[in-house]
Structure 1
Amino acid sequence: MTLMILSHPNFEQSIANKTIVTELTKQRHDLEVRHIYDLYPDYKIDVTAEQTALLKHDLVILQYPMYWFNMPAILKIWFDQVFTYQFAYGSQGDKLKHKKLLASLTVGQPEHNFIVEQNFHLMESFLKAVKASAQYAQMDYIDPIFLYDIATVTGHSKIQIQTKAKAHSQYLNTLINTLIDPK
Protein backbone atom coordinates (compact mmCIF):
# COMPACT_ATOMS: atom_id res chain seq x y z
CA MET A 1 0.00 0.00 0.00
CA THR A 2 0.94 3.61 -0.53
CA LEU A 3 0.88 6.49 1.91
CA MET A 4 0.81 10.10 0.74
CA ILE A 5 1.90 12.77 3.16
CA LEU A 6 0.20 15.83 1.70
CA SER A 7 1.60 19.12 2.87
CA HIS A 8 -0.12 22.10 1.30
CA PRO A 9 -1.06 25.07 3.50
CA ASN A 10 -3.70 26.35 1.03
CA PHE A 11 -4.97 23.10 -0.42
CA GLU A 12 -8.51 24.32 -1.09
CA GLN A 13 -7.12 27.12 -3.30
CA SER A 14 -4.60 24.82 -4.96
CA ILE A 15 -5.08 23.84 -8.56
CA ALA A 16 -2.16 21.51 -9.25
CA ASN A 17 -1.83 19.67 -5.94
CA LYS A 18 -5.59 19.36 -5.57
CA THR A 19 -5.87 17.89 -9.06
CA ILE A 20 -2.98 15.47 -8.46
CA VAL A 21 -4.50 14.17 -5.24
CA THR A 22 -8.04 13.99 -6.62
CA GLU A 23 -6.97 12.13 -9.76
CA LEU A 24 -4.65 9.78 -7.92
CA THR A 25 -7.28 8.81 -5.35
CA LYS A 26 -9.63 7.98 -8.24
CA GLN A 27 -6.99 5.66 -9.70
CA ARG A 28 -5.75 4.11 -6.46
CA HIS A 29 -8.18 2.84 -3.87
CA ASP A 30 -5.25 1.60 -1.80
CA LEU A 31 -3.84 5.11 -1.33
CA GLU A 32 -3.98 6.62 2.16
CA VAL A 33 -3.71 10.41 2.06
CA ARG A 34 -2.75 12.21 5.25
CA HIS A 35 -3.13 15.95 4.77
CA ILE A 36 -1.02 17.11 7.66
CA TYR A 37 -2.19 20.75 7.54
CA ASP A 38 -5.77 19.56 8.00
CA LEU A 39 -4.83 17.02 10.65
CA TYR A 40 -2.58 19.38 12.61
CA PRO A 41 -3.58 23.02 12.03
CA ASP A 42 -1.89 23.81 15.35
CA TYR A 43 1.32 22.06 14.15
CA LYS A 44 1.07 19.58 17.05
CA ILE A 45 1.85 16.33 15.26
CA ASP A 46 0.38 13.10 16.63
CA VAL A 47 3.64 11.17 16.42
CA THR A 48 2.08 7.80 17.25
CA ALA A 49 -0.58 8.16 14.55
CA GLU A 50 2.00 9.20 11.96
CA GLN A 51 4.40 6.39 12.85
CA THR A 52 1.53 3.88 12.74
CA ALA A 53 0.61 5.10 9.25
CA LEU A 54 4.23 4.78 8.11
CA LEU A 55 4.46 1.23 9.42
CA LYS A 56 1.42 0.14 7.38
CA HIS A 57 2.85 1.18 4.00
CA ASP A 58 5.76 0.21 1.78
CA LEU A 59 5.80 3.41 -0.28
CA VAL A 60 5.63 6.93 1.14
CA ILE A 61 4.98 9.86 -1.19
CA LEU A 62 5.65 13.39 -0.02
CA GLN A 63 3.30 15.60 -2.04
CA TYR A 64 3.86 19.32 -1.67
CA PRO A 65 4.45 22.63 -3.40
CA MET A 66 7.96 24.01 -3.27
CA TYR A 67 7.99 26.97 -0.87
CA TRP A 68 10.95 29.30 -0.97
CA PHE A 69 13.15 26.55 -2.40
CA ASN A 70 12.19 24.17 0.37
CA MET A 71 9.34 22.13 1.82
CA PRO A 72 6.43 23.76 3.68
CA ALA A 73 7.23 24.31 7.37
CA ILE A 74 4.82 21.69 8.69
CA LEU A 75 6.53 18.96 6.65
CA LYS A 76 9.87 19.82 8.26
CA ILE A 77 8.20 19.66 11.68
CA TRP A 78 6.65 16.32 10.68
CA PHE A 79 10.12 14.94 9.86
CA ASP A 80 11.60 16.33 13.08
CA GLN A 81 8.92 14.80 15.28
CA VAL A 82 8.04 11.55 13.46
CA PHE A 83 11.50 10.30 12.46
CA THR A 84 12.49 9.66 16.07
CA TYR A 85 15.37 7.87 17.73
CA GLN A 86 14.78 4.10 17.89
CA PHE A 87 12.03 4.45 15.29
CA ALA A 88 13.78 5.89 12.24
CA TYR A 89 17.37 5.66 13.45
CA GLY A 90 19.45 4.39 16.33
CA SER A 91 20.47 0.89 17.37
CA GLN A 92 16.85 -0.32 17.08
CA GLY A 93 15.62 2.41 14.72
CA ASP A 94 14.99 0.27 11.69
CA LYS A 95 11.20 0.64 11.43
CA LEU A 96 11.44 2.41 8.04
CA LYS A 97 14.15 0.18 6.62
CA HIS A 98 13.54 -0.66 2.94
CA LYS A 99 10.39 1.43 2.74
CA LYS A 100 10.45 3.63 -0.35
CA LEU A 101 10.31 7.42 -0.19
CA LEU A 102 9.29 9.50 -3.20
CA ALA A 103 9.00 13.29 -3.27
CA SER A 104 6.44 14.71 -5.72
CA LEU A 105 6.69 18.48 -5.93
CA THR A 106 4.81 21.19 -7.72
CA VAL A 107 6.87 24.21 -8.75
CA GLY A 108 5.43 27.46 -10.06
CA GLN A 109 8.40 28.37 -12.23
CA PRO A 110 9.55 26.68 -15.44
CA GLU A 111 12.19 23.97 -15.15
CA HIS A 112 14.84 25.92 -17.07
CA ASN A 113 15.04 28.37 -14.14
CA PHE A 114 16.57 25.57 -12.06
CA ILE A 115 19.24 24.39 -14.46
CA VAL A 116 22.63 26.02 -14.13
CA GLU A 117 25.89 25.51 -15.97
CA GLN A 118 26.78 22.02 -17.22
CA ASN A 119 23.18 20.89 -16.75
CA PHE A 120 23.44 20.86 -12.94
CA HIS A 121 19.90 20.84 -11.62
CA LEU A 122 19.30 23.01 -8.54
CA MET A 123 16.48 20.72 -7.39
CA GLU A 124 19.11 18.15 -6.44
CA SER A 125 20.50 20.69 -3.95
CA PHE A 126 17.07 21.62 -2.61
CA LEU A 127 16.24 17.96 -1.86
CA LYS A 128 19.55 16.90 -0.28
CA ALA A 129 18.05 16.98 3.23
CA VAL A 130 15.10 14.79 2.18
CA LYS A 131 17.44 12.31 0.51
CA ALA A 132 19.83 12.25 3.48
CA SER A 133 16.94 11.79 5.92
CA ALA A 134 15.58 8.86 3.92
CA GLN A 135 18.98 7.24 3.71
CA TYR A 136 19.67 7.79 7.41
CA ALA A 137 16.38 6.04 8.16
CA GLN A 138 17.50 3.20 5.83
CA MET A 139 14.71 3.98 3.38
CA ASP A 140 15.04 3.52 -0.36
CA TYR A 141 15.10 7.04 -1.81
CA ILE A 142 13.38 7.23 -5.18
CA ASP A 143 14.35 10.02 -7.55
CA PRO A 144 11.80 12.81 -7.09
CA ILE A 145 9.30 13.94 -9.69
CA PHE A 146 8.38 17.53 -10.42
CA LEU A 147 5.51 19.37 -12.00
CA TYR A 148 6.94 22.69 -13.22
CA ASP A 149 5.49 25.90 -14.54
CA ILE A 150 2.07 25.74 -12.94
CA ALA A 151 1.62 29.27 -11.60
CA THR A 152 -1.40 31.27 -12.68
CA VAL A 153 0.68 34.46 -12.33
CA THR A 154 2.70 33.36 -15.36
CA GLY A 155 -0.44 33.37 -17.50
CA HIS A 156 -1.47 29.72 -17.28
CA SER A 157 -5.18 29.10 -17.05
CA LYS A 158 -6.76 26.82 -14.48
CA ILE A 159 -7.56 24.31 -17.24
CA GLN A 160 -3.94 24.30 -18.46
CA ILE A 161 -2.66 23.67 -14.94
CA GLN A 162 -5.25 20.94 -14.35
CA THR A 163 -4.25 19.24 -17.61
CA LYS A 164 -0.59 19.24 -16.60
CA ALA A 165 -1.51 18.02 -13.10
CA LYS A 166 -3.61 15.17 -14.50
CA ALA A 167 -0.65 14.05 -16.61
CA HIS A 168 1.57 14.24 -13.52
CA SER A 169 -0.94 12.13 -11.61
CA GLN A 170 -0.99 9.52 -14.39
CA TYR A 171 2.80 9.39 -14.34
CA LEU A 172 2.79 9.12 -10.56
CA ASN A 173 0.29 6.25 -10.72
CA THR A 174 2.46 4.41 -13.26
CA LEU A 175 5.50 4.97 -11.07
CA ILE A 176 3.65 3.64 -8.00
CA ASN A 177 2.73 0.50 -9.94
CA THR A 178 6.38 0.01 -10.85
CA LEU A 179 7.57 0.58 -7.30
CA ILE A 180 5.09 -1.57 -5.41
CA ASP A 181 4.79 -4.38 -7.94
CA PRO A 182 8.04 -4.41 -9.97
CA LYS A 183 7.49 -7.31 -12.38
Structure 2
Amino acid sequence: MALLILGHPDIEKSLANRTIIEELKSSHPALEIRNLSMLYPDYNINAVAEQEALLRHDVVIFQYPLYWYSMPAILKHWFDVVFEYQFAYGSQGDKLKDKYFIPSFTVGAPEREYNAVGEHHFRVHEFCKNLEQTAYYTGMKYVDPIYFHGTSVNAGYTEESIKAKAKIHALALAEKLTEFQN
Protein backbone atom coordinates (compact mmCIF):
# COMPACT_ATOMS: atom_id res chain seq x y z
CA MET A 1 0.00 0.00 0.00
CA ALA A 2 1.13 3.55 -0.68
CA LEU A 3 0.73 6.89 1.03
CA LEU A 4 -0.04 10.16 -0.71
CA ILE A 5 0.72 13.39 1.14
CA LEU A 6 -1.50 16.03 -0.43
CA GLY A 7 0.07 19.44 0.02
CA HIS A 8 -2.42 21.54 -1.94
CA PRO A 9 -3.74 24.44 0.16
CA ASP A 10 -7.17 24.42 -1.57
CA ILE A 11 -7.76 21.21 -3.51
CA GLU A 12 -11.36 22.11 -4.35
CA LYS A 13 -10.13 25.01 -6.51
CA SER A 14 -7.57 22.90 -8.35
CA LEU A 15 -8.92 21.10 -11.38
CA ALA A 16 -5.55 19.46 -12.10
CA ASN A 17 -4.67 18.21 -8.62
CA ARG A 18 -8.27 17.27 -7.82
CA THR A 19 -8.49 15.21 -11.02
CA ILE A 20 -5.23 13.43 -10.19
CA ILE A 21 -6.54 12.54 -6.73
CA GLU A 22 -9.92 11.37 -8.05
CA GLU A 23 -8.26 9.17 -10.68
CA LEU A 24 -5.88 7.64 -8.13
CA LYS A 25 -8.72 6.97 -5.69
CA SER A 26 -10.61 5.03 -8.34
CA SER A 27 -7.58 3.08 -9.62
CA HIS A 28 -5.94 2.46 -6.22
CA PRO A 29 -8.64 2.39 -3.52
CA ALA A 30 -6.11 1.17 -0.92
CA LEU A 31 -4.05 4.34 -1.37
CA GLU A 32 -3.96 6.29 1.90
CA ILE A 33 -4.38 10.01 1.21
CA ARG A 34 -3.52 12.56 3.87
CA ASN A 35 -4.87 15.98 2.89
CA LEU A 36 -2.72 18.31 4.98
CA SER A 37 -4.95 21.37 4.57
CA MET A 38 -7.98 19.42 5.71
CA LEU A 39 -6.18 17.69 8.58
CA TYR A 40 -4.27 20.75 9.75
CA PRO A 41 -6.01 23.98 8.70
CA ASP A 42 -4.19 25.69 11.59
CA TYR A 43 -0.80 24.20 10.48
CA ASN A 44 -0.57 22.42 13.85
CA ILE A 45 0.79 19.19 12.36
CA ASN A 46 0.71 16.06 14.50
CA ALA A 47 4.21 14.65 13.93
CA VAL A 48 3.44 11.32 15.60
CA ALA A 49 0.33 10.67 13.48
CA GLU A 50 2.21 11.59 10.31
CA GLN A 51 5.21 9.45 11.24
CA GLU A 52 2.90 6.51 11.93
CA ALA A 53 1.36 6.97 8.48
CA LEU A 54 4.82 6.97 6.91
CA LEU A 55 5.78 3.81 8.77
CA ARG A 56 2.75 1.95 7.36
CA HIS A 57 3.90 2.39 3.74
CA ASP A 58 6.84 1.67 1.47
CA VAL A 59 5.87 4.20 -1.21
CA VAL A 60 5.26 7.88 -0.45
CA ILE A 61 3.91 10.31 -3.04
CA PHE A 62 4.06 14.04 -2.40
CA GLN A 63 1.31 15.70 -4.47
CA TYR A 64 1.21 19.48 -4.78
CA PRO A 65 1.21 22.45 -7.15
CA LEU A 66 4.54 24.15 -7.83
CA TYR A 67 4.32 27.50 -6.01
CA TRP A 68 7.07 30.04 -6.54
CA TYR A 69 9.46 27.28 -7.67
CA SER A 70 8.83 25.21 -4.56
CA MET A 71 6.14 23.44 -2.59
CA PRO A 72 3.25 25.16 -0.77
CA ALA A 73 3.97 26.33 2.77
CA ILE A 74 1.92 23.62 4.47
CA LEU A 75 3.93 20.87 2.79
CA LYS A 76 7.25 22.52 3.66
CA HIS A 77 6.06 22.87 7.25
CA TRP A 78 5.04 19.19 7.22
CA PHE A 79 8.60 18.20 6.28
CA ASP A 80 10.01 20.48 9.00
CA VAL A 81 7.79 18.92 11.68
CA VAL A 82 7.63 15.28 10.58
CA PHE A 83 11.16 14.54 9.36
CA GLU A 84 12.59 14.80 12.86
CA TYR A 85 16.05 13.97 14.14
CA GLN A 86 16.27 10.27 15.12
CA PHE A 87 13.19 9.54 13.00
CA ALA A 88 14.18 10.61 9.49
CA TYR A 89 17.90 11.17 10.07
CA GLY A 90 20.54 10.93 12.77
CA SER A 91 22.32 7.93 14.27
CA GLN A 92 18.98 6.15 14.86
CA GLY A 93 16.96 8.03 12.25
CA ASP A 94 16.53 5.27 9.74
CA LYS A 95 12.73 4.93 9.83
CA LEU A 96 12.33 6.03 6.20
CA LYS A 97 15.23 4.03 4.80
CA ASP A 98 14.47 2.32 1.48
CA LYS A 99 10.99 3.81 1.14
CA TYR A 100 10.23 5.31 -2.28
CA PHE A 101 10.01 9.11 -2.43
CA ILE A 102 7.90 10.27 -5.39
CA PRO A 103 7.45 14.00 -6.05
CA SER A 104 4.26 14.59 -8.04
CA PHE A 105 3.27 18.11 -8.91
CA THR A 106 1.59 20.42 -11.36
CA VAL A 107 3.06 23.49 -13.04
CA GLY A 108 0.82 26.33 -14.15
CA ALA A 109 3.05 27.81 -16.85
CA PRO A 110 3.90 26.21 -20.20
CA GLU A 111 6.98 24.02 -20.55
CA ARG A 112 8.62 26.39 -23.05
CA GLU A 113 9.09 28.93 -20.23
CA TYR A 114 11.23 26.56 -18.16
CA ASN A 115 14.69 26.66 -19.77
CA ALA A 116 17.82 28.84 -19.80
CA VAL A 117 16.26 31.45 -22.09
CA GLY A 118 12.66 31.13 -20.88
CA GLU A 119 10.85 33.32 -18.43
CA HIS A 120 11.69 31.03 -15.50
CA HIS A 121 15.39 30.51 -16.46
CA PHE A 122 15.63 26.89 -15.28
CA ARG A 123 14.20 23.50 -16.16
CA VAL A 124 11.70 22.16 -13.65
CA HIS A 125 14.04 19.35 -12.55
CA GLU A 126 16.46 21.99 -11.27
CA PHE A 127 13.84 23.10 -8.73
CA CYS A 128 13.72 19.56 -7.32
CA LYS A 129 17.25 19.30 -5.94
CA ASN A 130 16.01 19.96 -2.40
CA LEU A 131 13.61 17.02 -2.72
CA GLU A 132 16.32 14.75 -4.07
CA GLN A 133 18.66 15.74 -1.23
CA THR A 134 15.91 15.17 1.35
CA ALA A 135 15.36 11.65 0.01
CA TYR A 136 19.10 10.99 -0.08
CA TYR A 137 19.65 12.33 3.45
CA THR A 138 16.85 10.20 4.88
CA GLY A 139 17.86 7.03 3.02
CA MET A 140 14.78 7.06 0.84
CA LYS A 141 14.80 6.00 -2.82
CA TYR A 142 14.24 9.13 -4.88
CA VAL A 143 12.09 8.71 -7.96
CA ASP A 144 12.29 11.34 -10.70
CA PRO A 145 9.32 13.69 -10.35
CA ILE A 146 6.11 13.19 -12.24
CA TYR A 147 4.64 16.51 -13.31
CA PHE A 148 2.98 18.36 -16.13
CA HIS A 149 2.71 21.94 -17.34
CA GLY A 150 -0.26 24.05 -18.29
CA THR A 151 -2.66 23.78 -15.38
CA SER A 152 -3.94 27.34 -15.23
CA VAL A 153 -7.25 28.28 -16.82
CA ASN A 154 -6.12 31.90 -16.28
CA ALA A 155 -3.18 31.25 -18.64
CA GLY A 156 -5.52 30.12 -21.39
CA TYR A 157 -5.60 26.37 -20.85
CA THR A 158 -9.00 24.76 -21.21
CA GLU A 159 -10.60 22.67 -18.51
CA GLU A 160 -10.73 19.76 -20.97
CA SER A 161 -6.99 19.91 -21.69
CA ILE A 162 -6.12 20.24 -18.00
CA LYS A 163 -8.29 17.26 -17.09
CA ALA A 164 -6.84 15.17 -19.92
CA LYS A 165 -3.26 15.92 -18.81
CA ALA A 166 -4.18 15.24 -15.17
CA LYS A 167 -5.58 11.83 -16.11
CA ILE A 168 -2.36 10.97 -17.96
CA HIS A 169 -0.40 12.14 -14.90
CA ALA A 170 -2.51 9.94 -12.60
CA LEU A 171 -1.95 6.98 -14.92
CA ALA A 172 1.83 7.52 -14.71
CA LEU A 173 1.59 7.57 -10.91
CA ALA A 174 -0.57 4.45 -10.91
CA GLU A 175 2.02 2.67 -13.04
CA LYS A 176 4.76 3.64 -10.55
CA LEU A 177 2.64 2.36 -7.67
CA THR A 178 2.12 -0.95 -9.43
CA GLU A 179 5.83 -1.18 -10.27
CA PHE A 180 6.99 -0.50 -6.70
CA GLN A 181 4.38 -2.62 -4.98
CA ASN A 182 5.17 -5.77 -6.94
Q: Secondary structure in 2 aligned to 1:64?
A: strand
**What is residue 88 of structure 1 aligned with on the other side?**
88
Q: Which moved more, 1:16-25 or 1:106-115?
A: 106-115
Q: Deviations over 1:11-43 (max 9, x none)?
A: 111100000000111000220000001100000
Shift of 1:2: 0.6
Distance 1:175 1:83 in 2: 24
Shift of 1:115: 2.0
**What is residue 126 of structure 1 aligned with on the other side?**
127
Q: Secondary structure in 2 aligned to 1:143?
A: coil
Q: CA RMSD in A?
A: 1.3
Alignment of 1:18-29 (within 5 A): 18-29=18-29
Distance 1:55 1:40 in 2: 20
Q: Which moved more, 1:76-85 or 1:146-155?
A: 146-155
Q: TM-score with structure 2 length normalisation?
A: 0.94
Shift of 1:121: 5.3
| Identity score, percent | 47
Q: Deviations over 1:32-63 (max 9, x none)?
A: 00000110000010000000000000000000
Structure 2: runs of 5+ lacking an equivalent: none
**Total equivalences in the alignment:** 179
Q: TM-score with structure 1 length normalisation?
A: 0.94
Distance 1:162 1:124 in 2: 23
Residues 124, 156 of structure 1: alpha-carbon distance in 2 compared, 3 angstrom cutoff:
closer
**What is residue 110 of structure 1 aligned with on the other side?**
110
Alignment of 1:1-183 (within 5 A): 1-116=1-116, 122-181=123-182
Q: Secondary structure in 2 aligned to 1:115?
A: coil
Q: Deviations over 1:108-147 (max 9, x none)?
A: 1111211226xx9522221111111111110000000111
Structure 1: runs of 5+ lacking an equivalent: none
Distance 1:106 1:11 in 2: 12
